[in-house]
Amino acid sequence: MRYFIHLSFDGTNYRGWQRQKNSTSTVQETIENTLSKLFKKKISVYGCGRTDAGVHASQYVIQTYTKEAPLFDLKFRLNKNLPNDISIIDVIQVNENQHCRYDVVERTYDYFLHWNKNALLNRYSSFYEGINLDFELMKKAAELILKTKDFKALCKQPNSYNNTHCTITNCEIFVNEKQGRLRFSITGSRFLRGMVRICIFFILRVGSGKMTLEEFIKVLNQELNFKEKQPARANGLFLSKIEYPFLELNNSQNIVNTFSIGLKY
């Protein structure tokens, strides 16, 4: 029997989603160890995508397989045994041919940053002290990303992919100048490694006047090789929405909705 497990996690204390040879602090390993303890045998799980170290997920889906239905409340037991920075929202039985990763039609990422010091935001929003931004230029840069098809220039390891084409269906910036906060939201069919945080890097360069829109267009068109690109800080990034053609996930507990208050048009 195949199950999708809908969950969220705070990525601060983890080296990303995927199990690693040289690290025991990953979300995947933590969940697998907990499931194996509950079922008293080795249980493997597969995730809907990778997240880097320090990146959060306010909506994430994994899948696992059991020969028989569990004789206990799996959601309750998982929440009881997992650390507080991983929470289970739902356990859903699905068909054997449905896959949590390959059947995703769209993913949404949200990135939060602030420039007014705020002790309560630092864990989930990146603090850029003393930064002066032109928000209209940044929104124009986001429109350029929306129109882009080949993201080779905005990828950390482009040569590891057969192709670097992505279909972006939404790319927006929301600002609250009074609070000193900003949210970048992007939705697409797929994302390359480091792509969202590199998008933020270039948008901030444009917004701070370190790069013109014309130069950014050349970067996107691979006419200007910008070697110094550095992914934006991890703590402001959330994988915030996963969409399937056959399943509507419960979005009522998505913490990104709370963080987004005051950051909408």
Read off the tokens for 61. Answer: 């889906």
Query: What are the helix and strand counts (H, E) for the chain?
Result: 6, 9
Strands (E) in the chain, as ranges, are 2-9, 46-47, 56-65, 86-94, 106-114, 126-127, 168-176, 181-188, 237-243
Residue length of the chain: 265
Q: Is 134 a catalytic residue?
A: no
Separation of alpha carbons 88 and 86, rounded Å: 7
Q: Which of 10, 52, 103, 110 is catalytic?
A: 52
Read off the tokens for 252. Answer: 């009522």
- Per the DSSP assignment, residues forming a β-bridge with 20 are 23
Which class for 54: exposed (0-12), middle (13-18), buried (19 or more C-beta within 10 A)? middle
Separation of alpha carbons 144 and 188, rounded Å: 14
Cβ neighbours for 108, distance < 8 A, ≥ 6 positions apart: 170, 185, 186, 187, 239, 240, 241, 243
* Closest of 187, 191, 205, 68 to residue 138, by C-alpha: 205
Catalytic residues: 52
